[in-house]
Amino acid sequence: MLRMNLLGVLIAFVEWYDTAVTIAFSHAIYYSFFPNFQKELAFKTELLLITCSCLGKPIGAYLIGKFSDNYDRLQAAKVSFFLMIFCSFFIVFLPSFQSIGYFSLFLFFIIKFIQGIAVGGNYATSVYSIEQSNQKFFISSLTSFSIFCGFFLANTFHSFFYRFDQSFYNLFAWRVAYFFTIIFSLPIFWLINKESSLKKVINYEENKIYNNETFEFFRTCFLVLLDVIPFQYFHVFLPNYKRLILQYNETLIQKGIFTTLLTINIITPFVGKIADKFGPMFFLKSSALMMIFSFFIFHYIFENFAKFFIADIYFGVMMAFCYGTLYCYLPMNFCKNSRARLSGFALNFTTSIVLILMPVFSNSIEKYILHILLFIGTFSFALLSIKDKSNVF
């Protein structure tokens, strides 16, 4: 069982490290695969670059998750993980725009879309780890911890390579960072081969069937917003906006990102441990309330956001409360014969919708009132969606 829990944690680390490389090096990847656009259009294009990585995730979550629910979680993890690593290997050696023109751009989007399908299917591994563990929230929090270790490492590589010659950084640094995805995956290949094939997961007589799975699905989508909107807005959107539009100093931006990631990684496992003993309700509801309050603070100091150290710590604590509980809580909304499929699909479907809308909302970034009302309404619905389901597993 320890080996299966470790497998889930490592898979989460590798797949999100790969995603974090796309985010951290988005400007350099843009340089390799796009012609020279104007600054504002470049910003939108970089957001689109990040978005394309997630568009395949709902498809993979549903199809591979269905196979996982009905037959074998480990075999589902094998297929999705091998496909993801193959795509990373292909990207490392993909010719740039200067070599083959727009065909390189087409290939990049196709590969990232296929990789998204693979990553979406890997959610089943985390679901199985949670199901079998006696410390469900702690194991789930370790998976979240590994995700942010992936982000932390990707941003470390970015800071390191950013000091190199600009042409090397734009053309090769991101390829080296992607290549480490393959290196980090080697222990996972060993663990997958060691782990024996799991027994069939389904036992309909032992599973509680909810009367309204559609309602549970949309309730879960609202809960996913507790993670997706703050993370994408503050960790993906704003750093790129400050880098390209506001022309903030890169070192200042990176310090803010590292402060947030470090805060999340320190606190998240403790939150999971406490939630196993006392339940997740306090942390989930506190996280939602902090998110509502955060948009008043961050919009008020928007022009100096990167200079406020306390804002980065506040965001880290807020997200640690979320990550220490949310991703163990989400599968509780569904019975075992639909758990990986529907909770994984809700997670990735909601993420994709938010990412698709993000470039659209980039034109209204200065309209503080619109954003505050939007986020308050969203998180108020999410707060109302939190119900005690601690006895489901």
Find which of 23-27, 48-52, 236-240, 272-276 is predicted with most confidence, using mean pLDDT.
272-276
Alpha-carbon distance of 351 to 360, in angstroms, equals: 15
Give residue for tokens 């309602």. Answer: 215
Element (H, E) at 144: helix 136-161
Give every CB contact of residue 21 below 8 A, 6+ residues apart in sequence.
Answer: 154, 157, 174, 177, 178, 181
What average pLDDT does this structure show over 15-32? 80
Are 178 and 23 contacting, i.e. CB atoms less than 8 angstroms apart?
no
pLDDT digits (tens, 9 = 90+) for 75-92: 787 888 888 888 888 888
In whole angstroms, give the CA distance from residue 140 to residue 117: 22
**Of 107-116, 281-290, 365-374, which gets the smallest average pLDDT?**
365-374
Q: What is the DSSP letter of 94?
A: -
At 271 the pLDDT is 93
Q: Which amino acid is at 143?
A: T
Instruction: Give the residue among 139, 156, 116, 141 at the shortest CA–CA distance from 25.
Output: 156
Question: Is residue 184 predicted with pLDDT exceeding 70?
Answer: yes
d(CA 262, CA 313): 9
pLDDT-derived band at 267 (thresholds 50, 70, 90) equals: very high
Whole-number Å distance between alpha carbons of 201 and 19: 29
Structure tokens at 320: 């640690």
pLDDT of residue 226: 82
- Give one DSSP letter per residue of 194-239, joined into a string: HSPPPPP---GGGSPPPS-HHHHHHHHHHHHHHHHHHHIIIIIIHH
CB crowding 335-350: b at 16 or more within 10 Å, else e = bbbbbbbbbbbbbbbb
Q: Is 356 exposed, middle or buried (0-12, 13-18, 19+ CB in 10 A)?
A: middle
C-alpha 6/C-alpha 49 separation (Å) is 31
pLDDT tens, residue by residue, 119-154 = 887 777 677 777 777 788 888 888 888 887 888 888
Of the listed ranges 295-304, 312-321, 361-370, the least confidently predicted one is 361-370
Q: Are 343 and 334 in contact (CB under 8 A)?
A: yes
Output the pLDDT for position 223.
84
Reply yes or no on whether the pLDDT at 196 is more than 60.
no
pTM to 2 decimal places = 0.75
**Residue 43 structure tokens:** 């910003």
56 vs 368 pLDDT, higher one? 56
Say how many Å lie between the first and final Cα of the chain, rounded: 17
CA-nearest of 364, 344, 352 to 12 is 344
Residue 335: helix, strand or coil by DSSP? coil
- Asked whether the predicted pLDDT for residue 390 surpasses 60, the reply is no
Place of tokens 């959610």: 123
Measuring CA to CA, which residue among 378, 266, 386 is closest to residue 325? 386
